[in-house]
């Protein structure tokens, strides 16, 4: 069975909630889905996944949430080749923060690309100023992502 790992970076649980809400959509599309709440680089390197989805909010001034810092730091330190990695990215943020809007998601996207990973489709940015429940934006986006990228199995 094809595997999908959802890598979560969250402070208050919104990004985790998104991961849990979209999980059944991928299961219906034929994936064995796991949600990683304390992701590490070994989750990509030691046991590669067919597809990855990153659900990452921003804290501080465009910073990664604490639970996601080790993952990003390990990429910086170990410089892995991520050329086999195909991923989608859902960034949670708040446009009232101005220039650092969705800063963590944007940094992560650049970091993954720099290491050879291939993003499928565009990044989704969910603005807390406009969308109270991030799931409301994430669910239709994932439904469209699965179809537009031809990700359905069987």
Ligand X SMILES: Cc1cc2nc3c(=O)[nH]c(=O)nc-3n(C[C@H](O)[C@H](O)[C@H](O)COP(=O)(O)O)c2cc1C
Tell me how far, at minimum, the Cβ of 115 lies from ligand X, in Å: 23
Q: How far apart are CA 55 and CA 91, in angstroms?
A: 6
Does 136 participate in binding ligand X (rule CB under 6 A)? no
CB atoms within 10 A of CB 110: 10
Q: How far apart are CA 16 and CA 13, in angstroms?
A: 5
Q: Which of 4, 15, 138, 142 binds ligand X (CB under 6 A)?
A: 15
Does 133 participate in binding ligand X (rule CB under 6 A)? no
Q: Which of 14, 26, 112, 151 binds ligand X (CB under 6 A)?
A: 14
Does 7 participate in binding ligand X (rule CB under 6 A)? no
Tell me how far, at minimum, the Cβ of 53 lies from ligand X, in Å: 14
Where in 42-101 is the site for ligand X (CB under 6 A)? 57-62, 65, 92-94, 97, 100-101
Q: Are 124 and 140 in contact (CB under 8 A)?
A: no
Residue by residue, DSSP assigns 19-32 as: HHHHHHHHHHTTEE
Does 19 participate in binding ligand X (rule CB under 6 A)? no
Q: Are 126 and 92 in contact (CB under 8 A)?
A: yes
Does 131 participate in binding ligand X (rule CB under 6 A)? no
Tell me how far, at minimum, the Cβ of 59 lies from ligand X, in Å: 5
Strands (E), the chain: 2-9, 31-36, 51-57, 86-93, 118-119, 124-127
Name the site residues for ligand X (rule: CB under 6 A).
Answer: 10-15, 57-62, 65, 92-94, 97, 100-103, 128
């Amino acid at each position: 069975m094809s595997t999908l790992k959802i890598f979560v970076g969250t402070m208050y649980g919104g990004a985790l909630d998104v991961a849990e809400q979209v999980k059944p959509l991928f299961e219906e599309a034929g994936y064995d889905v796991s949600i990683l709440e304390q992701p590490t680089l070994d989750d990509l390197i030691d046991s590669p996944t067919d597809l990855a989805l990153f659900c990452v909010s921003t804290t501080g001034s465009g910073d990664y949430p604490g639970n996601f810092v080790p993952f990003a730091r390990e990429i910086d330190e170990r410089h892995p080749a991520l050329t086999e990695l195909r991923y989608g990215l859902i960034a949670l943020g708040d446009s009232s923060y101005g220039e650092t809007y969705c800063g963590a998601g944007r940094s992560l996207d650049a970091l993954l690309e720099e290491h050879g990973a291939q993003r499928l489709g565009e990044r989704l940015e969910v603005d807390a100023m406009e969308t109270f429940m991030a799931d409301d934006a994430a669910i239709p986006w994932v439904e469209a992502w699965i179809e537009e990228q031809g990700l359905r199995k069987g």
